[in-house]
Amino acid sequence: GQSLEQPSEVTAVEGAIVQINCTYQTSGFYGLSWYQQHDGGAPTFLSYNALDGLEETGRFSSFLSRSDSYGYLLLQELQMKDSASYFCAGLTSGTYKYIFGTGTRLKVLA
Amino acid sequence: DSGVTQTPKHLITATGQRVTLRCSPRSGDLSVYWYQQSLDQGLQFLIQYYNGEERAKGNILERFSAQQFPDLHSELNLSSLELGDSALYFCASSTGLGTDTQYFGPGTRLTVL
């Protein structure tokens, strides 16, 4: 099947670094995206990896390894406002379906 | 503000009824996507339109249908509603066919009683 698996919840303290993993079991897709969603809000785009390697955007970085069917989102210098759900997502090759991961709820503690 | 608008914001209806959700994409975006998000669940891809044509179909029920009009706005029609259809329905738009950034609207919260 086509799925993107993420840990359900991650907790970290303010100022720390946290990594949210995304593993997939699909035959192929075009890159991996990351979205943030606050409770009651709409998802907003954070980062996109078209190719293997690391992409850095401010405090957020994202990594993709196609050979390992694995990606992650790295959040540095955590702030309280980073408490939200984070989703990885990808467009499947062939069927062109856009699949979102199971989502990770991040709790940032003071 | 993403530039994507959705109406209505809230919708309360009864089982067996039919509703229409409307989405206007960002100016210049040709793709429109529809997603369903049930309480504390992830986003389920329903369907995508690109420049008026259906591009991809996800786990969309036969009771649901969508279309994209010449002015690129889109409507999602939900019929014979069941309690389990209660959810947040998001519309998103993007410039191209699907590998580019998607911009999400604020969503329509549907409650079926």
Inter-chain residue contact A97 with B33, CB threshold 8 Å: no
- Among A60-64, B20-24, B40-44, B88-92, whose mean pLDDT is lowest? B40-44
Work out the pLDDT band at A26, boundaries 50, 70, 90: low
Contact state of A42 with B98 under an 8 Å Cβ cutoff: no
A27: pLDDT strictly greater than 70: no
What tens digit of pLDDT does each residue of A44-90 get? 999 999 889 999 989 999 999 988 889 999 999 999 999 999 999 98
User: Residue B10: is its pLDDT beyond 80?
Assistant: yes
What is the chain B residue with the closest CA to A41?
B106
3-state helix, strand, coil in chain A (%, to 5): 5, 60, 40
Nearest to B106 among A42, A95, A99 (CB): A42
Hey, is the C-beta of B94 within 8 angstroms of any chain A C-beta?
A: no
For residue A89, list its beta bridge partners: A33, A100
**pLDDT value, residue B26:** 96
Neighbours of A10 (CB within 10 A): 17
- Please determine, for residue B1, whether its predicted confidence score (pLDDT) is greater than 90: no
pLDDT digits (tens, 9 = 90+) for B71-85: 999 999 999 999 999
Least confident piece of the model among A18-27, A78-87, B44-53: A18-27
Peptide bond into B8 cis (omega under 30): yes
Compute CA distances B47 → A96, B15, B53, B57, B88, whole Å: 10, 23, 11, 4, 15
